[in-house]
Amino acid sequence: MDEQSLNRRRILSGMALAAGTAGIGLGTRNARAADAPATPDAGTAQAPTITDVKDKVVYITGGSSGIGLGIARVMHEYGAKVVMGNLNDQQFADALKHFPANDPRLFTVVHDVMDRDGWQRTADAIEKKFGAVDILVNNAGVGLQQSASAGSLKDWEWGMGVNLWGPIYGVNTFVPRMLAKKTGAHILTTTSTSGILPGSGAGIYTVAKIAAVGLMEELRHELRETNIGTSAFVPGLTTTNIGQSESHRPEALKNDAPAAPRAQRHPRAGGRRRPGRRRRRYPPRGRGRRIRWWSDASWSTASCTTTCSSCCSRSIGRAWRRAATRCWNPWCPSRRSRST
């Protein structure tokens, strides 16, 4: 293709983008002029529905290790009544060492997030023990390394069942209960940088996490006039047991043949690193301390800012506030409204 044709294509592409942007702007203006319900602008803050977690009931799926345990420890430290859910009682032994013995503000439940009916039983058990749940943390997840193109249907069923259907079941179970109690409530889902930056090679995991981010973004719009706040937590590399996920795979969903090789990483997804250099991983409790929407409204922001701020946490260490002002997305309001 000659240079003239390339320039013509660039001009036409630019005109199409400009026309699309103008159309969205006109549609929004007309909707507001007609007094239609307006959705929040990207980057606008969502007012916190909970400003203090003391004596609040917090249910954390996958709460016995990793990020879930980190969140549980921080919530307990701030005075919340913490409920940790996991697949079996044996997994709680190490987790309980981090809490006082026979603590009245701590409760454990055996819960498989893929069990739809089990969600209702778990909610009933928590309400019987502590009362209605104020904060739901959809944290349970499995780390499949299979690619989207080569993964088996059993891989898809297991990966989507835990990483996506788990949060969906949680929302379906607890939103009606939270609306009924009418006091402040919050739903948080732990996603992943793979949910906004695909190309890691773990295709099934990436698809599930992208959908989980979309779920929380949509809930933010739908629940904005209610007593329920929402957040999507997008941590970077963290020291957890997610690499041991295969040991928890149900027998019915185990593959008959060995898994296909993982797809080649895309360079922009972290596939290329300097020789001998390892990406830094952060401790789970540090991740837990970042879940503090009750003291900082920015944790409840949604649309672009929620995702971008959390995404930028993957490699910032102590420079959280400074690094959170940068974003890979050129249309993100944080790039324009905050100094870097």
CA distances to 47, 98, 107, 135 from 95, rounded to whole Å, are 33, 6, 12, 20
In the residue annotation, 169 being an active-site residue is answered as no
**What is the reported pLDDT for 137?**
96
Catalytic residue among 59, 78, 169, 205: 205
Burial of 29 (0-12, 13-18, 19+ CB in 10 A): exposed
- Spatial strand order of the sheet with 228-233 comes to 106-110, 81-86, 57-61, 135-138, 185-190, 228-233
**What is the reported pLDDT for 47?**
65
**Which backbone phi and psi does 58 adopt, to 5 degrees?**
-120, 125
32 Cβ neighbours under 8 A, 6+ residues apart: 38
Tell me the average confidence (pLDDT) per consecutive run of 10 residues in the chain, 340 residues long.
62 55 52 49 61 92 88 93 90 88 93 94 96 95 81 88 95 96 92 79 86 93 92 76 65 66 45 47 52 41 34 33 38 41
pLDDT in tens, 41-64: 544 556 667 888 999 999 999 888
Look at the pTM and tell me if it is higher than 0.85.
Answer: no
Tell me the CATH architecture of domain 57-264+278-300. 3-Layer(aba) Sandwich (3.40)
Q: Where are the domains of the chain?
A: 57-264+278-300, 302-313+320-340
**What is the reported pLDDT for 230?**
92
